[in-house]
Amino acid sequence: MSRVVLPHTAIPKYYQLATILQGKIEAGEWAPRSPIPSERQLETIYNVSRPTIRQSIEYLITQGLLYREHGRGTFVSPEKLQKGLRELTSFSEDLLARGMRPGQVIRSIERTVPPDSVLQRLELPPGSPVTRIDRIRLGDGAPIGLQVSYISLSPSQEITVQDMERAGSLYRILEEKFNLIPTEADETLEVALANREEASLLEINEGSPLLLSERLTFSQDRRPVEFVRILYRGDRYRYYTRLKR
């Protein structure tokens, strides 16, 4: 006989504990900047070993919920810092987090050979076709950005408008359909001025200032999967990030 499968049914203890602690923090049971019980206390309270406790705490520290001071204790982060690092998110998640209603107009989905500069970034040989998605992004119904994505897929891997409408997010399609999980990305930001076409699509004047974002996204095996260029309306978009060291 082989082993019973039951994958994922057993949630790791450290994760369960982290969830409990997170609950107490978010419920306000432990005030910001106040210490949580010491690791030895948590050991007896929850009847788990100290390494497990520490693993939970380290997880919550990376999430930005806690911080440690050697010799003093472990403390709850002030609320402003509890949002965690700037995370790799899709446009939809990003906008939702800002309290805006995301939307999009898909202008085209096609197989095409992109400029060489894009192929180099995607580490593909010259002449390779990729999937190109051209969209207008909406915030609360009004244009907020122009987005062009180049996705490194084989000819047999196809994305349809139906996929996009069903999943709602490109990243969900990549994960569920192709097992490509975006885990890391390089992003640059600079200012640009709207040309006539961009101005028209964004419903602003020609020459208006824009925020230009270029992002190269890597999957779980650290291969580039997507290069995306977004032109944001300067008057409707601010970029937010959290830095740590």
Partner DNA sequence: TGGACTAGCTGGTAATGACCACTTAACCAC
Partner DNA sequence: GTGGTTAAGTGGTCATTACCAGCTAGTCCA
If one asks whether residue 175 binds DNA (CB under 7 A), the answer comes out as no
Query: Which residue among 27, 34, 69, 80 contacts DNA (CB under 7 A)?
Result: 69
Q: By CB under 8 A, what part of segment 19-58 binds a copy of itself?
A: 33, 51
Query: Which residue among 22, 30, 32, 48 contacts DNA (CB under 7 A)?
Result: 48
Could you give phi then psi for residue 141, rounded to 5 degrees?
90, -15
Instruction: Give the long-range contacts of residues 85-89, CB within 8 A, separation 24 or more.
Output: 85/242, 85/244, 86/240, 86/241, 86/242, 88/182, 88/183, 88/184, 88/185, 88/217
Q: Considering only the stretches 49-57, 165-173, 202-210, 229-237, report the one whose residues sit in contact with DNA under the rule CB under 7 A.
A: 49-57
Distance CA 151, CA 122 (A): 8
Q: Considering only the stretches 24-32, 39-47, 101-109, 156-164, report the one whose residues sit in contact with DNA under the rule CB under 7 A.
A: 39-47
For a copy of itself, the closer of residues 24 and 33 by Cβ is: 33
Nearest CA to 148 out of 25, 231, 205 is that of 231
If one asks whether residue 38 binds DNA (CB under 7 A), the answer comes out as yes
If one asks whether residue 77 binds a copy of itself (CB under 8 A), the answer comes out as yes
Q: What's the token pair of residue 163?
A: 């996929």
Do 145 and 230 contact (CB within 8 A), yes or no? yes
**Residue type for position 9:** T
CB of 239 to a copy of itself, least distance (A): 4
Question: What is the H or E stretch that residue 98 is in?
Answer: none
Q: Which residues bind DNA (CB under 7 A)?
A: 2-3, 6-8, 10, 12-15, 35-36, 38-41, 47-52, 54-55, 68-74
Contact set with a copy of itself (CB under 8 A): 33, 51, 67, 69, 75, 77-78, 80-81, 85-89, 182-193, 209-211, 215, 218, 220-222, 234, 237-245
